[in-house]
Structure 1
Amino acid sequence: MSDLTKIAVDAMGGDGSPKKIVDGIIYNHKLNKKNFFKIFGNKVNIEALIKGKINKDFYEIIHTDNVVKSTDSPLEAAKRGKDTSMWLAIESVKKKETDIVISAGNTGALLVIAKLNLKMIENIDKPALSALWPNKKGMSVVLDLGANIECNSKNLVDFSIMGASLYKSLYPNEKPNTALLNIGSEELKGNEIIKETFQILNEKKSDNFNFSGYIEGNELMDGNVNVIVSDGFTGNVALKTAEGTANFITDELKKVFKGTILGKLSAILNFSNLTKFKKRLDPRLYNGAIFIGLDSPVVKSHGGTDHIGFSNSLNVCTKIVNGNLIQKIRDNI
């Protein structure tokens, strides 16, 4: 069992936990027998859900009475104690008992508790929250998505290196194109920090990625850039805008195809294409934000996703560990 990827799971975070979390583990295990799950939470509840569904060689349950609440501020979560499922799951990575940690719980609490327990990778000043976004040609890595509201040029250069390392971990046969999210494609556009970062990356020769200059918001989904870099404020606004637009389009299409007899007939005739469209925009396929820059990877699953979305974020965990993300960042920084 030593060749298994050891994943620490906070089973008590997010909507519908621990059932959703355990169902996600069971679903993931059916598809992939290469993970070992160290599960933190209420042992009685978790055991009742998982017993007989997975061989005991593939999981261990660590009982915790205390949990971080969704309503806790990061400070309240840290003060809640070192016996919460979230804290103990992160601590298991710190102690090298597991390879990676995942939680669907309180995002702010997860970032703070992770920073309290884990060290920064040498020469990196700030960690970043990154995620996978769909584009016309596949997937993009986007960071930072809210961990750092203000960034200097060194931070953005570090994010470029970390984002490219993450992309290489997930897609080892590809060399990513990296760009800075900006209000225009011309060199003179943007604030002084963006322009300074542009100069540094333009002069920096990297075996890890190709620097593609600036990218504007309307080009994010084109697929010509694989790693998109910004400060946390801009990145978070871009993320919420993209999510909102996708939901708007999906809801409007539903109204069109359900509103009239002609619409319903069109829906029947286009059923195959509509199914493909729905699947392409399914947020569960892209579930799993990655907190990178610390000396162990931390994955945040969306609190509102279902068991399939959580299973997909477990796949991200496996790829990150097998792709040796942390060593890639160390090598390239």
Structure 2
Amino acid sequence: MKAVYVDDAYTVVVKEVDKPKVGKNEVLIQVKAAGICGSDIHTYKGLHPFRKPPVIIGHEIAGEVVEIGGAVTKFKVGDRVTVEPQTGCGHCEYCLTGSVNYCTGRGAPGIGSWYGAMAEYFAAPEQTVFKLPDGMDYDLGVLVEPFAVGVHAVRKAGIQVGDKVAILGAGPIGLLAMAAAKAAGATTTLVTDVMDYALEIADQMGATHSMNIMNLPDWTEEAKAAIGGDFDKVLIAAGVPGIIDQSLKLLRKGGRIVTIAMFQGTQTFDIHNLQNQEKEIIGCMTYTREDTITAIDMLMAGAVNEQAIISHKLTCEQAAEGFRLVDKKEDQSMKVLVKFEDAN
């Protein structure tokens, strides 16, 4: 089968590899579409903390079941599915309480023996697979995983009806987090970025305010002025220097920050602004099964403008171009899909 490899930093190639063998508790999926994620770009740059080249990349997928293991009971050949691409040990306190994302033995595609998902076929444990509802196409199915990230962040933030929310970073995760915040009841959503086209997409997806912060040294004050006060919650979807301190400046007393972005290096901030005003900073790591189920339901309910956020649909042979587009933000790229429609 064809598989997309990050062979080395900034090097993406398509290789012929053996089709995965299906274990007794596994499902083999013929991949129809796969998404390029921001964390994939970290691998592409050689910066990911645990997913290192050479590796079959990818974890955002949708496709059709073509084979099931002997112990599989919930799926059959022909089912249209997506995957929550993480596993736990199954017996630690975190796994037993539904927080697989906390498991110290957490597994994910592209780590160890689990091949990445950007290939013609992908094998996944039964418990990680979810049926796509009737009427949900494969492209929208690819958005389940990244949207679950946004759903999880919104749940960690405790966003509720009437909240004023700032979303810092208008990449796919930031925009999907914004959509999740709106679905949770946020009435004011301000999105920041340094790319005008990304902010235009934010507007198309329903942001109430958008702001290009390039060359705006006092942008936090301008952001607060735009909404007439402080923010209740801040979702950080851009891991740039100084962004924690900037987020604290946006918040009301008792407000909450959730970090979604992958950060490199150290962040510094004014501890007094955190402590004296009882503000909170909360980390955010992937999602839970509950978040994935919620993401599927919300996508079917129309929470995300699929046409606005999916910017490119490429063949697997064009995967290198897709990675370059996402990394360099070329051709107004947003969510780039790699298609495997002709897999056999």
Indicate whether the TM-score tops 0.5: no
More helix by share: 1
Higher relative contact order (CA 8 A, sep 6+): 1
- Which structure's residues are more often strand, by fraction? 2
Which TM-score applies when normalising by structure 1?
0.31
**Structure-2-length-normalised TM-score:** 0.30
